[in-house]
Chain A
Amino acid sequence: AQSVSQHNHHVILSEAASLELGCNYSYGGTVNLFWYVQYPGQHLQLLLKYFSGDPLVKGIKGFEAEFIKSKFSFNLRKPSVQWSDTAEYFCAVTTTGRRALTFGSGTRLQVQP
């Protein structure tokens, strides 16, 4: 069965700092990769996804992620964070023929003004 690891559980940054959140998955076959965000008091929202093609994926609100197949990684990046990016970020994966999302444990990002 596939699994997803997010190594950073809690990240604190100052505004304008750069962000990189790690995500690694374990699965030997084809995967679809997602990053979801949950702002305080709100529901999970899709930030970006990788399905095929260009491994560098751009999402909403200036976020991007790079799929590195050889490293089984799909790290999330943003060059300059804002206070409004304070949220919990979840990496997730689906595999060929399955729609069930397997989530990582989430990373709580706190951006200080």
Chain B
Amino acid sequence: EPEVTQTPSHQVTQMGQEVILRCVPISNHLYFYWYRQILGQKVEFLVSFYNNEISEKSEIFDDQFSVERPDGSNFTLKIRSTKLEDSAMYFCASSDEAVLTHEQYFGPGTRLTVT
């Protein structure tokens, strides 16, 4: 069964550094998403992406964040200058536009630790 994959599984970075989190969505899916979960808190929506542009974003997704589909398979989340409060589990998801219920399939997550 096709799966969403994410790399790395754990990333440690220093405050102020840039990080790029990578995702490979399911191959025939056209909608891509990033969510995050700070330890002990809810899973929160960050951004959705379709047809090479952002289709929706939350208040969390400020100028420090960007997303890109650099090639036909990868989908990336970049955090320009990390802060301590960016420490969280980041989940990528994808969905099939053709499916009316547009259910989202999640990857295993990248744990980001900012020190």
Contacts and interface: CB of A to CB of B under 8 A. Distances in A.
Interface stretch (A10-18, A42-50, A61-69): A42-50
A103 B56 contact: no
Kindly name the residue among A44, A51, A90 whose own CB sees the greatest number of chain B CB atoms within 10 A: A44
B30 to A, nearest CB: 11
B90 to A, nearest CB: 12
Contacts of A100: 33, 45, 48, 56, 58
Contact of A99 (B42, B56, B107): B56
A105 B44 CA distance: 10
Contacts of B103: 34, 46, 49
A27 to B, nearest CB: 15
A32 interface: yes
A43 B55 contact: no
A100 B58 CA distance: 9
Contact of A51 (B41, B42, B100, B107): B100
Interface of A: 32, 34, 36, 42-46, 49, 51, 90, 92, 94, 98-106
